Structure 1
Amino acid sequence: MLYNNGQTMTLKAPGGQRVKVRLEVNAKARRLIIRLDERRREAVAIAPSQRQMEAAVAFAAERVDWISSRLQHLPEIVRFEEGAIFNYRGAPCQITGEGEGRLAKLSAGDPQVLYVPGDPETIHLRVERYLKKQARADLTRAVKRHTDTLGVEYKGISVKDTRSRWGSCTSDGQLSFSWRLIMAPPAVLDYVAAHECAHLKEMNHSNKFWALVGKCCPDWKRQRSWLRVHGVELQAAGE
């Protein structure tokens, strides 16, 4: 059977559950990979080439029970809408469309309140725009601090909605981060910034690299563990 890049298929788990699997080709992948797309509630089977697409389907079928279990345990999606509560810098924050003017405004409290006046139909866009702006500001401050510590320079910072990486660093010094880090505790965002800044000196994950991360962020192991456990919650917000 011929399978196409981007095609979605349905597999049946032993318990009877139906599991959606999207097929993707990624030339950078060194082997067959299965990952979860938390926001679409489906798995992604990744093949290094089109020729290995059939093998990717078989690979997913062999692991359909595991995929089904993981999908069933994903956190509920939190939509950016009136009354919704999500985490902002690690603390609960409630959304309201009330308020005056056109700019989003954050009010301290328990929970915090994010006022986003305007058209209720586009409230999610204004919330996301606000979060991206704050994420860029926090990450820029963190990057400047860590690059000063390491004595390195960067060319630029971009904030995106990445699904497989929280941050990346190119060989020419361009840093990229997920805006969703603004929902994590500040120490976690700081760790990811330190991680990418360390790559400006060491484009690997050697002992030298981790020593640089530790110089910027001594408790990096704890922050990395938090992200591994709670990262799916960050990805589940904002639909």
Structure 2
Amino acid sequence: MLVDSHCHLDFPDFAEERAEIIARAKAAGVERMVTISTRVRKFDQVLAIAKEYDEVYCSVGTHPHNAAEELDVTAADLIRLSAHPKVVAIGEAGLDYHYDKSPRDAQAKGLRVHIAAARETGLPLVIHARSADEDMAAILREESGKGAFPFILHCFSSGAELARIGVELGGYVSFSGIVTFKNSGELRDIAKEVPRDRLLVETDAPYLAPIPHRGKRNEPAYVANTAAVLAETIGVSAAEIADITTANFFRLFTKMPKPV
């Protein structure tokens, strides 16, 4: 069994064949998928997909690209919306200094609001971090000092120090198709250093399709390709990495029911 801990099934890329994509994921052994919210104002669309498919669950939150649009979203709003049985995470929220689509102070404010919601609910916060290692580490340290909260550094592509700090603070590190790319040797070295009980896999579909699908639209079934490379990287079998990452997923996503 595998789990895609992060995909975007509400994106237009999937609109024409969502049922077929979910069926292909199941055929590949992917028993659970978490479709991730990027705008609270469009949360209903994400939730509708989660409600339609037994294998799909969702998060609620505001991507850092959209932080300036949703500064009025409060922790109380996130907590209220997360009460639905199909909502198993908060986010994605974080800092993206690569694209800087929202002002950095708005991104930081939004991140702290999401942290407060994760701390209150106990649901894992899905963290997006790109080209912002120092500020992300500082916020995680400061906020953890106010009270622990569960979190995942999703689609990890940052430096080794942020991975180390994330693990030190109780977080998990999720690897996407990037870890399969030929020029990602440094990232694979980081993966080797992450404790096995903190590893997760994801697609971030429709983006970042792993080899041998690179350049194509990504989909949840392809998490098997990422898992295979991660297994080779840390020196375990494909079956073992499936067991490791699935156990880790259910330990972190405590609200998610396990398949019968």
TM > 0.5 fold call: no
Task: Specify which structure has the higher proportion of strand.
Answer: 1
Task: Specify which structure has the higher proportion of helix.
Answer: 2
The TM-score normalised by the length of structure 2 is 0.28
Q: Which has the larger radius of gyration?
A: 1
